[in-house]
Chain A
Amino acid sequence: MKKMAFILSVIFVALLVWRFGFTDYFKTTQAPDGRWKVYEKQADQLSKRSPTAEEEHFLGSMADDKAAQPERRPASIPTKSPEETFEKRKIVGTLNRQSLDLRPLNEPSADWEQSLAEEMMKFQSPETKLFIKHDEQIVLASEKLYRYVEEVTLTYQKEDGEITSFKAWIDSENGQLLNTWSRTIVHNFRKPAQKYRPSNL
């Protein structure tokens, strides 16, 4: 009986360590998987799921495509040097690793993507879908200060089928938008541009 109780206690403690120790460790340093996630509004809640086969084909699996291609280049063109990393994150900027004052401006959180999705869907209609692809983990560094940042690709699909995408840097702690670039250029041929009339006219 005592032996059984001891074994159960060990198992219980081990589970606790797993749940609040290793699991959290892996969550906060989860590497980008190159897969899209889909966020939709359902009854005022934001739901997350993997794309359907149809959506997957629509978005394309660029990670898979890259892996499928053999590496080929002319012999005369030298290969690029490997990028510097810090905590398995690509360094953007200059990081003085020898500095004793090396300190981060934020701490990565497992919830950054959920926070981002909530913010980016806040003003969207219920029929709009948001696709998020986690592209890269980055450390934005300036000598002894650094910030954990996630690089993502965001794609919106509106009810009328219109697609817009852009890339963004996101704060790894609170999921806030830091910068955007590479925005879609859309040509709508029959649809007139939205116009605004001032309230004081």
Chain B
Amino acid sequence: MKRREMDIFSFTKKKNSFQKRVSLFVSLIAILALTTSCISDSGKPTGRVRGGATGVNNDPSTVAPGFGRILEDNPIILSGNKNLTPDTNLALYLTSRTEYITDRQFLEGECFSLPTICFEVKKDEPSNKFQSPSTKWAYPTNSSEFLQVNTFGHMKRMINRYNDNLRSIYFNKTFSASGPSTINYRTAIPGTLYTNQAHWRTTPLVALADSRVKDNAFFSPATFTISMGEDSVFTNLKFSQDPTVVYHEIAHAFNMVKMNYRNQAAGVTIKTDLGYLFYDEAGAINEGIADYYSYLMNGRTHFGEWALGRFIRQSRPLKENDQLHAPGISATREGRLSYPAFLSYDPNRPTGSFEDIHYAGQIISHYLVALTEMFKKECSMSHREATDSVQYLMMETLAELGDLTSRGSDHNATGQVNLNANLNLAISSLNSLEWIRTAKPLSYRSFAQTIAKNQLKIFGDPLIPRCKGKVIQQDTIERLLDDYGLLLFRTYNTNRNSIAGEGNINTSISNRVKSELVSKNVLKLDPREGRAQAFVFDDRQDMVQALESLTSSGQITESISNQIESDLPFNNGNARISPGEFVGVALNLYNDSNSAIAGVEILANDWDHTKNGKMCNNLGDSFPLDSEGAADLSAGEGAPGACDYITRDNGREAQEEIAPVCFIQDITGNTTEWVNQQVYRTRIPGIEPNDCLGGDQKQKSCFIRFLKGVDKATISKLNPKKTYAETITGTSGTAEFNISNILFMEVNKKTPPGTTFNCRLRVRFTNCDDCWHDSTNNNDDYQDYEFAGNRPFKIINFRFTVID
């Protein structure tokens, strides 16, 4: 018995021992697998080696006609090695799987409903479009041909995806195929989207895949071209080796097209841009959306690991749980990358503070990723469905915000968005452009408000539940925006420029916890003792460089005066404003509150502040005194032409006028009078109308003129109790300004020394509680025409004397 027990015991013991060995073996294998799947620092590729030691033989003989091979992602991701060398053999990261490229002999692609080629790829050297008579698109990975095929392959994926989504939206979601629209929301997508080829451009999108321009990639709307250059130090590193960069640049093209759906459909020649200055919030939104498209295409929450991250340390995360982010940032209500705190945050240099649209755009990219995850969770959507839904929202949002026809929807009358009452589309589109560019540009506020409104009406409508049978709740929409500090509005402005109480009901918000709104009164010239009110830039070399940049970028939109000579001989760098100079001015603005304010704008464009050529002094700044030549308020008020009546047509109506900001102090004996420049000229002997900066047609800006295009300056953020210089220190720690922080003006050579000017500038900021909506009118947004006047702004009078 005992023996049997012992036998049994022995067998059990053996069995246990065997199990233990098997378990140990399996555990070892598992540990080995886990460690080898992590990105290594060893310098040796530890990811899946796909084609053996030398990689896939990417020869034309290995593919069928019409097919080729592309990199599925950037080399860092495919190799699993974040220390990849620039001369790495990319063939190691190809697979034997082939991709359909094209049956044409050139890298050309078609799109739905376009009679011509929709997109194409070139090398960008003195060569013709690259031709493959066999239509076999497999080439060595170190060749320019491979770069072009790689670019084309990813371009095709992305453009096909965009067109499929747009077609589905147009035919299934916004318009009924059986006749008049049966949708229950006023879509911004125009009915003639395809008829008038407004879904794309009339010329193909050209990608220059192997441009030799160093450290440079760009999108050119004028020529509808994207270009991918190479690293200047490691010239084997080509940006088109990184599909995320290709996606980013194409996304800029998408944004341009979306902004102009309605303009193209209506035949409006001029087009809107998403961003006009070196730094503005529209440009930051553009960059954030462009980053997001990388996630849309590949599902990863990081962008540019190879092209930007490997050697330049400028790759960007797209979600808060990314390893690159600073501690404390998390995908929680408290830890989100929120506005405005993270506007100047570079995850690669988290202790610094930088004014750059790419860093500021991260708030948008992170929000859009979070929005996608919300769709996945709330609507049980796949990645494809959820990102298509976000793209749908962006199409609606940008089409409305970029509309120069001023309707916002085919279902609206004119004058609902971006001004305009003028029935002449040519004139009204110029007014709308002025609004989008200067008077009421896209901002984090308007983008958040419009995308929220679209979420509510498209996915929050119980009549046509587009959230897979469910409805997105208003609270959900608002909480997510608030997490990002973007709940910057008090209503959804569903009634646009209609008067509140008429037409559409305007929905109020109710979930603001984190987003901060601050009164405009906190923004002032630095009141502290010994501080400059403004900074003057008149160094000759600097201003020549500024003019070179402003001219070649197309930012200045009117001709510079003939009086301003090419080498700026009158610029003397003495920090004073002198006759004949081309001068930059930056107000030394101070945030006198305990909250950060952002999206600060300083406007020097013409506005409605005069009556019969004299300044109105009932606009909040009590300037000038009645005895100093202020407009007569005793009669005619309440009607066009009056001080309390704001022009509806940007000064084009009879009796209405808009005037330049700068007036002149004319002292005669004991009398001081503030007069406009045209009047002053008549009082100075020897100065003829033709001697004015803009000639005899522009006498109201005879002596001082802020050029169009540079008559607005921006500041990304002002921290509490700080000025710009104290908020954005940059790498040097000293006060340096970007070109977009500066207003630029011309000074007439014949300006009498000693002449004193007062320029009536208007300032505002994005998270302002009394710049965008009217608390006396149920918090309804100000109607667009109000932005030609004083109410949405704080007036700051900038006074200076011209010296010899």
Contacts and interface: CB of A to CB of B under 8 A. Distances in A.
Given A165-B220, A179-B433, A187-B216, A119 B424 contact: no
A195 B737 contact: yes
Contacts of B573: 199
A83 interface: yes
Given A124-B548, A195-B730, A198-B737, A179 B214 contact: no
B160 interface: no
A58 B424 CA distance: 39
Interface in A132-160: 136, 138, 140-143, 151, 153-156, 158, 160
A188 interface: yes
Contact of A201 (B194, B227, B535, B542): B535
Contacts of B544: 123
A195 B539 CA distance: 13
Given A181-B270, A189-B215, A163 B126 contact: no
Contacts of A191: 215
Interface stretch (B50-58, B111-119, B337-345, B505-513): B111-119
A104 interface: no
A98 interface: no
B115 A72 contact: yes
Given A92-B426, A180-B709, A200 B575 contact: yes
Contacts of B312: 189-190
A109 interface: no
Given A94-B424, A179-B557, A187-B217, A124 B552 contact: yes
A2 interface: no
Contacts of B220: 163-165, 182, 184-185
Interface residues of B, number: 100
B109 to A, nearest CB: 13
Nearest to A92: B426
B691 interface: no
B59 interface: no
A57 interface: yes
Contact of B555 (A123, A183, A193): A183
Interface stretch (B182-190, B271-279, B383-391, B784-792): B271-279
B553 A194 contact: no
Contact of B586 (A54, A120, A198): A198
A124 B552 CA distance: 8
B538 interface: yes
B190 to A, nearest CB: 13
Nearest to A44: B566
Contact of A163 (B116, B213, B221): B213
B297 interface: no
A105 B730 CA distance: 49
B133 to A, nearest CB: 18
Contacts of B329: none
Interface string A167-179: 1110000001111
A167 B222 contact: yes
Given A179-B433, A201-B735, A187 B218 contact: yes
A199 B575 contact: yes
A29 B272 CA distance: 29
Interface in A52-82: 53-54, 57-60, 62, 65-66, 69-74, 77-80
B427 to A, nearest CB: 6
A65 B203 contact: yes
A124 B574 CA distance: 24
A33 interface: no
B153 to A, nearest CB: 21
B212 A190 contact: no
A60 B206 contact: yes
Given A181-B270, A184-B222, A196 B739 contact: yes
A28 interface: no
Contacts of A77: 113, 194-195
9 contacts: A161-B216, A166-B554, A180-B555, A184-B220, A185-B252, A185-B275, A189-B314, A198-B535, A200-B575
Top 4 A-B pairs ranked by shortest CB distance?
A93-B426, A166-B554, A200-B575, A198-B535
Interface of A: 53-54, 57-60, 62, 65-66, 69-74, 77-80, 83, 90, 92-94, 119-120, 122-125, 128, 136, 138, 140-143, 151, 153-156, 158, 160-169, 176-191, 193-201
Interface of B: 112-117, 122, 124-128, 194-197, 202-204, 206, 212-223, 225, 227, 231-233, 252, 256, 267, 269-273, 275-276, 278, 283, 286, 308, 312, 314, 356, 358, 423-427, 430, 433, 532, 535-539, 542, 544-549, 551-560, 566, 573-575, 584, 586, 709, 730, 734-739, 742
